[in-house]
C-alpha cells in the first residue's frame, strides 16, 4: 500500500505543477496591463488576487485525483489487477475468504512488479501555446507607446530666487501636473511655472518644496477660497479639479512678501457643445416632387473632443388642416460614420411607410450628443419640413363675387396654442423661472402670428403682414416689427415708404387719368385697402365674430408674453369658441362694387396744435451715464497716488458685470498689484487702461453756431434790435 500511495502522490504533484504553469503564465501580462493603467501598487494587489484564484483552480484540479480515480487508473494500466484494485483499499474485516486471497495475491504482484507511472498524458503543446501568447501580449503591453504615461509625481523644477531673510521659508522647487478628463483623450502634462491652460474638469496636482520648512502653507485663490497644502516628506502637495479660470498665490507661514504676492494664472478651456450642420436638404422647407418616394437626409456633427456614435432623429407627421390637425411622432436611432471629432449621419425616410399623404407635413430634427462625462452636451439641428402641396381647388363664381375658403390650411391652430399653454403649466415645477417665461413668450409669439393672420380678413395692417409659413423664401425681411408705420386714419399727405406693405398695389396704369373721371384718378393714385369694406372678404356677421376672436387673442397674447399662461387660457378658449363659429361660414365674397371713401375731416387738418412739443427756451439737460461707477473709478485712478481708491467698489462691480469684462482675471491681477503697491504709477495706468474700453461713450454734444463774418454779425445784430 505504501508503494501505491507513493505513486498517487507523484501523480497529484505532477498535476498541480501542470495546472500552475497553465494558469500562472497569464499572471505576467495581467501584471503588465495593471501596472500600465493603474500603477505598480494596484497592479500588485490585482496579481495577489489572481494568484489566489489560480491556487483555488489548482486545488480543485488535484482534488479530482481521489481514491476512485486511483482504482480506475490501476485497473486500466495493470492487467494483473484483474479489475480488483478496489480490494486493496477495502477494510480487512469486511473481506471474506476469496476476497482476502485475491487481495493478498494483488499485494504480492505490486511488491514484486516494477513501478507503475499512473500520470495521465499532459498537453504540453497547449502549455507552450499559452505561454507564447502570454509572453507576446506582455511584450506588446510593455513596448506599446503610451502618451499618458507619466511618473507618479510631477518632476520638480527650480524656482527663480526670491530675496528672503534668514529663517524665512523660501520656495525652491515647484511643479504642476494637469490631468485632463479621460473622455477628452488628451495626455497629462507637467507645468513647471505653476501656470497654464487646462480643459474643463481637469485635475490639477501641485507639488512644492520650501527651504526651510514652514509651519503651514496654502493656495489662496482670487475669490477668497483657500486650498491647504499637505506635507509629504520634504514636499507639500494639493489637488483640485478646475471648474473656472482663476488666479492664486502661495502663502506659507513666515514667507517673504515678494513670494506671497506673486500671482499665478489658470485659464479654463471650456468644452463646447457639438456643432450640427445640415448637408441635405439644402433648404428648411422642401416641397414634394412628382414621383418622389423617399426623402434623403444628411447631417454633419463636429465636437472639440468627440461626438457620440449614435444620434436620434425625431420625426413628426402633421396631418389635417385648420383646427383638425393631428400629430404622430416617432424617433429613429442613427449611427454615424467618420472619425471621433467629426461624424456624418445619413438616412432616407420611406414616405409610404410613414403614411405621408396629400396636404401633410413631415418635420424632422436630429439630436446629437458629445462624449462629455458625466453629463454629455446635446445639440439640436434646425427643423426640416417636407410638404406635400394640397390640391389648389377650383374657384367658383357666386352672385356677389369670388368664392374662397374661410380658414386656409396654413393658419396656426388656436387649439394647439391652448395645448402648448396647458403643457407648459404642467411642467412649471420642473422649469426655472427664466426658462418658463421664455417658453411662455414663444407661445405668445405663436398667438401673435395667428392673430395677425386672422386680422388680414379685417383689413388690419397696423403691425405689418407676417410671412406665410408656407413661403419657400429664406429671407428674413419680415414686417412684423413695423408697428404703426401704416395706420388707417393717418394724414393723407404723409409720405409712406415704398416697401411698407407686403402686398402688391396693382400694376401701373396704362394711361394717364382723364380730368373729371374719378375712376381714372383712383386707379392711378388710390389706395383702396384703407377702406374696410374693400379690404375684407367676410360678411358683416362673420366679420363681427372674427373681430371678437381677435380681441380675445390680444388678451391671450398679452398674458403669454408676460409669462402668465394661466391667465391667458380663458381668453384663448374664448377665441377658440369664436373661431369655431367663424368656421360655420361656408363662403366669403370679394366685393365687386367701387369703394365709397369717407369724407376728410377738415377740422383736424392744419390745426397747428403744438401740445407736447418742447419749447426752444428750455435749457438742455446734461446726459447721465447708465453705469457711472467705471468712469468714477477711472477718474480716481487718474488722481495722484496719495488719493485712495475704492477697491471694494471695483471688486463688487467686477462680480456683477462679468459678462461685460473681456478678461476678468486681468482685472483681478491688476487690482491685486495696485492694492499691494498703492504708490505704483504703472499699476494705476494698467488698471485705467483696462477700464477705458468699459466706459460709456459720451452723448453727442450740441455744437454752437458759427459766428460768421462781419456781414453776418451785422445782420444778426439788426434782428435783435428789431425784436427789442
- SS3 of 574-616: HHHHHHHHHHCCCCECCCCCCCCCCCCCHHHCCCCCCCCCCCC
At residue 699, the pLDDT reads: 65
Of 98-112, 302-316, 506-520, 664-678, the range with the lowest mean pLDDT is: 506-520
Task: Indicate whether 609 pLDDT > 80.
Answer: no
Contacts of 458-463 with CB under 8 Å at 24 or more apart are 458/532, 458/535, 458/536, 458/538, 458/543, 458/546, 458/547, 458/550, 459/488, 459/529, 459/530, 459/531, 459/532, 459/534, 459/535, 459/536, 460/550, 461/486, 461/501, 461/529, 462/486, 462/487
Cα separation, 15 vs 2, in Å, equals: 20
More confident of the two residues 201 and 20: 201
**Confidence tier at 516 by pLDDT (50, 70, 90):** very low
pLDDT tens across 339-350, in order?
Answer: 889 999 999 999
Order across the sheet with 246-252: list the strands: 196-199, 264-269, 246-252, 217-221, 226-228
pLDDT tens across 628-647, in order?
Answer: 777 777 877 777 766 677 77
Task: Indicate whether 362 pLDDT > 90.
Answer: yes
Q: 323 and 302 in contact (C-beta within 8 Å)? A: no
Of 46-55, 158-167, 513-522, 658-667, the range with the lowest mean pLDDT is: 513-522
More confident of the two residues 693 and 4: 693
C-alpha cell at 442: 414663444
What sign for the dihedral angle of Cα 501, 506, 510, 516? negative
Cα separation, 328 vs 38, in Å, equals: 51
Of 399-413, 594-608, 620-634, 687-701, the range with the lowest mean pLDDT is: 399-413
Task: Indicate whether 272 pLDDT > 80.
Answer: yes
**Segment of 63-77, 449-463, 549-563 carrying the highest mean pLDDT:** 549-563
Q: Taking the mean position of all CA atoms in its chain, how far away is CA 653? A: 29
**Confidence tier at 293 by pLDDT (50, 70, 90):** very high
Secondary structure letter of residue 508 according to DSSP: P
Cα separation, 334 vs 279, in Å, equals: 15
Question: Would you tell me the crossing angle of helices 40-63 and 27-37 to the nearest 10 degrees?
Answer: 160
Which residue matches cell numbers 507639500? 236
Cα separation, 315 vs 384, in Å, equals: 10
Q: 345 and 298 in contact (C-beta within 8 Å)? A: yes
How large is the average pLDDT for residues 414-428?
Answer: 90
At residue 314, the pLDDT reads: 94
Burial-class residue 81 by CB neighbours within 10 Å (0-12, 13-18, 19+): buried
Give the count of beta carbons closer than 10 Å to the beta carbon of residue 194: 21
pLDDT tens across 566-580, in order?
Answer: 999 999 999 988 888
Residue from 413, 420, 415, 412 nearest 565 by CA: 420
More confident of the two residues 431 and 536: 431
pLDDT tens across 241-269, in order?
Answer: 998 888 998 988 888 888 888 889 999 99
Q: Quick one: what percent of the chain has pLDDT higher than 90? A: 21
Q: 455 and 270 in contact (C-beta within 8 Å)? A: no
End-to-end CA distance of the chain: 152
Residue from 254, 251, 217 nearest 232 by CA: 217
Give the count of beta carbons closer than 10 Å to the beta carbon of residue 488: 13
Q: Which pTM value belongs to this model?
A: 0.47
Task: Indicate whether 552 pLDDT > 50.
Answer: yes
Q: 36 and 141 in contact (C-beta within 8 Å)? A: yes
For residue 174, list its beta bridge partners.
157, 208
Rg, C-alpha atoms of the chain: 45
More confident of the two residues 674 and 503: 674
Contacts of 6-13 with CB under 8 Å at 24 or more apart are 7/115, 7/116, 7/117, 7/118, 8/65, 8/70, 8/118, 10/118, 10/119, 11/65, 11/73, 11/118, 11/119, 11/120, 12/62, 12/65
Cα separation, 379 vs 301, in Å, equals: 9
Which residue matches cell numbers 480543485? 60
More confident of the two residues 392 and 321: 321
How large is the average pLDDT for residues 211-227?
Answer: 89
Angle at 574 between CA 569 and CA 576, to 5 degrees: 95
Instruction: State the DSSP H helix or E strand holding residue 553, giving kind and residue range, or none if neither.
Output: helix 540-561
**Confidence tier at 456 by pLDDT (50, 70, 90):** confident
Task: Indicate whether 592 pLDDT > 70.
Answer: no
C-alpha cell at 22: 497553465
Angle at 98 between CA 97 and CA 101, to 5 degrees: 90
Q: 349 and 402 in contact (C-beta within 8 Å)? A: no
Of 75-79, 579-583, 682-686, 687-691, the range with the lowest mean pLDDT is: 75-79
At residue 256, the pLDDT reads: 86
3-state secondary structure 32-92: HHHHHHCCHHHHHHHHHHHHHHHHHHHHHHHHCCCHHHHHHHHHHHCHHHCCCHHHHHCCH
How large is the average pLDDT for residues 169-183?
Answer: 89
Which residue matches cell numbers 457711472? 628
At residue 91, the pLDDT reads: 65
Q: What is the mean pLDDT of the chain?
A: 76
Q: How many CA atoms lie within 13 A of 54 on its CB side?
A: 20
Strand spans (E) along 242-293: 246-252, 264-269, 275-280, 285-287
Q: Is 372 left (phi over 0), alpha (psi -120 to 50) or beta?
A: beta
**Confidence tier at 648 by pLDDT (50, 70, 90):** confident
Order across the sheet with 342-350: list the strands: 275-280, 294-302, 342-350, 337-338
Q: Quick one: what percent of the chain has pLDDT higher than 70? A: 71
At residue 117, the pLDDT reads: 58
Task: Indicate whether 65 pLDDT > 80.
Answer: no
How large is the average pLDDT for residues 69-80?
Answer: 68
pLDDT tens across 377-413, in order?
Answer: 999 999 999 998 866 554 444 433 333 444 443 445 7
Residue from 593, 591, 595, 588 nearest 538 by CA: 588
Residue from 418, 448, 462, 481 nearest 557 by CA: 448
Task: Indicate whether 500 pLDDT > 70.
Answer: no
Cα separation, 429 vs 431, in Å, equals: 6
Q: Taking the mean position of all CA atoms in its chain, how far away is CA 402? A: 52
At residue 601, the pLDDT reads: 73
How far, CA to CA in Å, does 1 sit from each of 48, 65, 108, 111? 39, 17, 11, 9
Amino acid at each position: 500500500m505504501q508503494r501505491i500511495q507513493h505513486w498517487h502522490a507523484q501523480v497529484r504533484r505532477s498535476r498541480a505543477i501542470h495546472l500552475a504553469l497553465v494558469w500562472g503564465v497569464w499572471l505576467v501580462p495581467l501584471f503588465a496591463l495593471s501596472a500600465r493603467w493603474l500603477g505598480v501598487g494596484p497592479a500588485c494587489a490585482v496579481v495577489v488576487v489572481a494568484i489566489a484564484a489560480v491556487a483555488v483552480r489548482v486545488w480543485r484540479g488535484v482534488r479530482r485525483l481521489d481514491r476512485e480515480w486511483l482504482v480506475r487508473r490501476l485497473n486500466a494500466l495493470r492487467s494483473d489487477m484483474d479489475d480488483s484494485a478496489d480490494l486493496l483499499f477495502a477494510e480487512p474485516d469486511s473481506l471474506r475468504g476469496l476476497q482476502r486471497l485475491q487481495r493478498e495475491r494483488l499485494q504480492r504482484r505490486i511488491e514484486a512488479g516494477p513501478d507503475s507511472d499512473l500520470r495521465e498524458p499532459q498537453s504540453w503543446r497547449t502549455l507552450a501555446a499559452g505561454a507564447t501568447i502570454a509572453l507576446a501580449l506582455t511584450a506588446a503591453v510593455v513596448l506599446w507607446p503610451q502618451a499618458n504615461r507619466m511618473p507618479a509625481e510631477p518632476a520638480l523644477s527650480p524656482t527663480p530666487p526670491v530675496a528672503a531673510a534668514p529663517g524665512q521659508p523660501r520656495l525652491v522647487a515647484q511643479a504642476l501636473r494637469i490631468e485632463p478628463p479621460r473622455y477628452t483623450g488628451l495626455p497629462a502634462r507637467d507645468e513647471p511655472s505653476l501656470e497654464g491652460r487646462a480643459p474643463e474638469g481637469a485635475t490639477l496636482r501641485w507639488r512644492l518644496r520650501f527651504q526651510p520648512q514652514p509651519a503651514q502653507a496654502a493656495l489662496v485663490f482670487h475669490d477668497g477660497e483657500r486650498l491647504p497644502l499637505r506635507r509629504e516628506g520634504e514636499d507639500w502637495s494639493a489637488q483640485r479639479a478646475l471648474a473656472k479660470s482663476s488666479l492664486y498665490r502661495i502663502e506659507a507661514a513666515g514667507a517673504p512678501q515678494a513670494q506671497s504676492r506673486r500671482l499665478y494664472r489658470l485659464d479654463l478651456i471650456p468644452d463646447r457643445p457639438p456643432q450640427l450642420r445640415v448637408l441635405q436638404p439644402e433648404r428648411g422647407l422642401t416641397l414634394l416632387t412628382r414621383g418622389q418616394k423617399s426623402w434623403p437626409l444628411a447631417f454633419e456633427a463636429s465636437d472639440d473632443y468627440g461626438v457620440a456614435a449614435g444620434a436620434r432623429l425625431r420625426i413628426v407627421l402633421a396631418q389635417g388642416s385648420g383646427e383638425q390637425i393631428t400629430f404622430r411622432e416617432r424617433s429613429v436611432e442613427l449611427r454615424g460614420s467618420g472619425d471621433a471629432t467629426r461624424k456624418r449621419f445619413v438616412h432616407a425616410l420611406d414616405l409610404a411607410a410613414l403614411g405621408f399623404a396629400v396636404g401633410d407635413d413631415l418635420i424632422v430634427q436630429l439630436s446629437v450628443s458629445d462624449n462629455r462625462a458625466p453629463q454629455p452636451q446635446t445639440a439640436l439641428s434646425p427643423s426640416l419640413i417636407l410638404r406635400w402641396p394640397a390640391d389648389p381647388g377650383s374657384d367658383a363664381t357666386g352672385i356677389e363675387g369670388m368664392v374662397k375658403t374661410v380658414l386656409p390650411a396654413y393658419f396656426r391652430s388656436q387649439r394647439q396654442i391652448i395645448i402648448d399653454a396647458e403643457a407648459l403649466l404642467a411642467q412649471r415645477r420642473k422649469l426655472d423661472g427664466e426658462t418658463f417665461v421664455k417658453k411662455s413668450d414663444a407661445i405668445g409669439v405663436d398667438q401673435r402670428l395667428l392673430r395677425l393672420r386672422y386680422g388680414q380678413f379685417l383689413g388690419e395692417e397696423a403691425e405689418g403682414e407676417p410671412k406665410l409659413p408656407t413661403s419657400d423664401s429664406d429671407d428674413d425681411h419680415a414686417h412684423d416689427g413695423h408697428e404703426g408705420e401704416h395706420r388707417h386714419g393717418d394724414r393723407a399727405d404723409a409720405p409712406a415708404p415704398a416697401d411698407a406693405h407686403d402686398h402688391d398695389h396693382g400694376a401701373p396704369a396704362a394711361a394717364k387719368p382723364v380730368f373729371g373721371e374719378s375712376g381714372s384718378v383712383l386707379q392711378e393714385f388710390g389706395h383702396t385697402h384703407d377702406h374696410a369694406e374693400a379690404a375684407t372678404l367676410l360678411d358683416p356677421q362673420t366679420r363681427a365674430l372674427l373681430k371678437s376672436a381677435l380681441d380675445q387673442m390680444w388678451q391671450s397674447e398679452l398674458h403669454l408674453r408676460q409669462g402668465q399662461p394661466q391667465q391667458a387660457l380663458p381668453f384663448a378658449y374664448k377665441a377658440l369658441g369664436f373661431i369655431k363659429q367663424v368656421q360655420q361660414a361656408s363662403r366669403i365674397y370679394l366685393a365687386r362694387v367701387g369703394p365709397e371713401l369717407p369724407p376728410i375731416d377738415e377740422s383736424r387738418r392744419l390745426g397747428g396744435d403744438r401740445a407736447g412739443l418742447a419749447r426752444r427756451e428750455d435749457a438742455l439737460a446734461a446726459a447721465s451715464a447708465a453705469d457711472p461707477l467705471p468712469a468714477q473709478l477711472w477718474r480716481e485712478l487718474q488722481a495722484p497716488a496719495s488719493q485712495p481708491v475704492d477697491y471694494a467698489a471695483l471688486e463688487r462691480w467686477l462680480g456683477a458685470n462679468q459678462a461685460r469684462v473681456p478678461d476678468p482675471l486681468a482685472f483681478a491681477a491688476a487690482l491685486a498689484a495696485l492694492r499691494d503697491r498703492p504708490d505704483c504709477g504703472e499699476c494705476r495706468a494698467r488698471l485705467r487702461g483696462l477700464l477705458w474700453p468699459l466706459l460709456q461713450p459720451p452723448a453727442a454734444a450740441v455744437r454752437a453756431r458759427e459766428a460768421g463774418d462781419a456781414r453776418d454779425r451785422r445782420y444778426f445784430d439788426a434782428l435783435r434790435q428789431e425784436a427789442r
